[in-house]
């Protein structure tokens, strides 16, 4: 049996908390993070190795999330959900990321649809008619999540400039009587084949359409014209099963809108935290790699010969370095999640880029240090570190805020205000 499920500290050592000091949490945050920890430790971790090996989707984990009520974590209370805010969402996903990062990342995709139609929509400017319409539509979507346990995915990426936020989506939604007909392709659709609805971003098909014409539409998995295609055999995050989607003249009714027409663009401009929703799963990986190293060096990994390696100064120095990186990462992660708000000022926005970049890069850096420090046996596939290392590599590749694009945006924003520019100098 794999030892993946056994990241439980030895006698006398309480499991470290994902926020460091749980006393800072509200009672509800503590309860939901504890629930995620319990599910993660007792169930998801044990299944992670198989789903990684098979590159199969962890359906049983989503059954557990469904039964525990956590599918409705970010559905507003007025719609029967748990009404979690951004920080709470991030902490729950980070905790799950410690035990099965692919589950955490996929769960994040589902929750992002709930946040978009939920508390993010509440923060946006809408006319009274749009607000009424949105209320009607989201009642339907949230009922599916809370009462029917349905799963939403968010396939945005197309392999072009759109996912970087630099061009309109090539997937087009043609307005027709009672709804839209959607045509296009999406790549990297996590939960492909497992989701009940795909929250697709597309462009309203009209002359001169721009980013402002982005539509966010929930396409039922069984809609005629929708198909999943392509292989899925990647380096890491294999359990997300992020295959491709083909949409061929797929009809969806008006109530498929997860946001009213024109509102996605407003959300993207005014609530940039929605692009940082990929980070919590990787925060969990960073913590897990550190936890693993401490147990390994103490000779406490169950099933292994209890050889201690902690007495060597080189190991102690490496663990100290890992701990410093972990605390730097956690500090920025927590600060930026707690700052989540509509219309952040320039300073908060820049901090958010810095936080996102730090989580994605440091998760991999901590895994790298962990492997080097723990040594050869630690890279065996029977132990979770090897998987954590591969999974951690994926974070910086994820659009729209890849590590490269975070540097791009941050560098520009630090040096230029608003629309400022320079004349070209050769």
Ligand X SMILES: Cc1cc2nc3c(=O)[nH]c(=O)nc-3n(C[C@H](O)[C@H](O)[C@H](O)COP(=O)(O)OP(=O)(O)OC[C@H]3O[C@@H](n4cnc5c(N)ncnc54)[C@H](O)[C@@H]3O)c2cc1C
Q: Which of 44, 57, 156, 271 binds ligand X (CB under 6 A)?
A: 156
In this complex, which beta carbon is closest to ligand X, that of residue 33 or of residue 200?
A: 200
Interface mask (CB under 6 A) for ligand X, residues 94-133, using x and -?
A: ---------------x------------------------
Quick one: 34 or 397, whose CB is closer to ligand X?
397
Q: Is 164 in the site for ligand X (CB under 6 A)?
A: yes
237 is a site residue for ligand X (CB under 6 A): yes
Among 71, 241, 399, 410, binds ligand X (CB under 6 A): 399
User: Other C-beta atoms within 10 Å of 62: how many?
Assistant: 21
Q: Is 242 in the site for ligand X (CB under 6 A)?
A: yes
Instruction: Compute how many residues bind ligand X; rule: CB under 6 A.
Output: 24
Q: Which is nearer to ligand X, 109 or 126 (CB)?
A: 109
Footprint of ligand X on 363-392 (CB under 6 A)? none
Interface with ligand X, residue 401, by CB under 6 A: no
> Using the rule CB under 6 A, is 394 a contact of ligand X?
yes
Task: Please state the closest distance from residue 200 (CB atom) to ligand X, in A.
Answer: 9
Q: Using the rule CB under 6 A, which residue among 404, 411, 412, 416 binds ligand X?
A: 404
Q: Which is nearer to ligand X, 5 or 240 (CB)?
A: 240
Near ligand X by CB under 6 A: residue from 188, 264, 273, 282: 188
State in angstroms the smallest separation of the CB of 157 from ligand X. Answer: 3
Task: Rule CB under 6 A: say whether 402 interacts with ligand X.
Answer: yes
Residue 163 sits in the site that holds ligand X (CB under 6 A): yes
Pick from 226, 258, 259, 398 the residue near ligand X by CB under 6 A. 398
The residues that touch ligand X, with contacts defined as CB under 6 A, are 109, 154-157, 159, 161, 163-164, 166, 188-190, 237, 240, 242, 394, 397-399, 402, 404-405, 408
């Amino acid at each position: 049996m794999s030892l993946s499920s056994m990241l439980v500290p030895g006698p006398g050592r309480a499991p470290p908390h994902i926020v460091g000091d749980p006393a800072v949490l509200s009672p509800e945050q503590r309860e939901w993070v504890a629930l995620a920890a319990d599910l993660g430790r007792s169930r998801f971790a044990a299944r992670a190795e198989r789903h990684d090996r098979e590159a199969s989707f962890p359906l049983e984990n989503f059954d557990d999330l469904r039964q525990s009520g956590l599918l409705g974590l970010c559905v507003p209370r007025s719609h029967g959900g748990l009404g979690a805010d951004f920080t709470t969402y991030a902490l729950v996903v980070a905790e799950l990321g410690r035990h099965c990062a692919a589950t955490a990342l996929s769960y994040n995709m589902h929750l992002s649809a709930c946040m978009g139609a939920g508390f993010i929509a509440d923060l946006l400017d809408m006319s009274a008619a749009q607000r009424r319409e949105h209320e009607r539509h989201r009642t339907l979507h949230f009922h599916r999540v809370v009462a029917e346990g349905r799963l939403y995915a968010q396939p945005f990426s197309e392999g072009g400039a759109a996912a970087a936020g630099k061009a309109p989506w090539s997937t087009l939604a043609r307005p027709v009587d009672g709804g839209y007909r959607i045509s296009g392709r999406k790549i990297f659709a996590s939960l492909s084949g497992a989701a009940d609805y795909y929250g697709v971003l597309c462009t309203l098909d009209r002359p001169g359409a721009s980013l402002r014409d982005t539509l966010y539409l929930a396409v039922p998995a069984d809609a005629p014209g929708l198909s999943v295609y392509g292989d899925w055999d990647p380096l890491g995050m294999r359990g997300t099963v992020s295959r491709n989607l083909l949409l061929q003249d797929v009809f969806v009714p008006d109530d498929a809108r997860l946001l009213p027409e024109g509102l996605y663009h407003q959300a993207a401009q005014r609530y940039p935290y929605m692009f940082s929703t990929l980070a919590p799963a990787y925060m969990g990986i960073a913590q897990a790699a550190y936890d693993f190293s401490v147990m390994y060096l103490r000779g406490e990994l169950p099933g292994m010969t209890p050889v201690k390696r902690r007495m060597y100064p080189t190991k102690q120095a490496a663990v100290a370095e890992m701990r410093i990186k972990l605390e730097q990462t956690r500090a920025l992660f927590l600060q930026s999640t707690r700052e989540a708000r509509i219309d952040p000022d320039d300073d908060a926005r820049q901090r958010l880029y810095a936080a996102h970049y730090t989580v994605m890069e440091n998760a991999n850096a901590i895994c790298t240090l962990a492997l080097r420090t723990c040594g050869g046996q630690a890279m065996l596939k029977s132990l979770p570190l090897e998987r954590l290392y591969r999974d951690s590599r994926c974070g910086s590749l994820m659009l729209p805020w890849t590590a490269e694009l975070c540097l791009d945006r941050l560098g520009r924003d630090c040096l230029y205000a608003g629309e400022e520019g320079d004349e070209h100098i050769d």
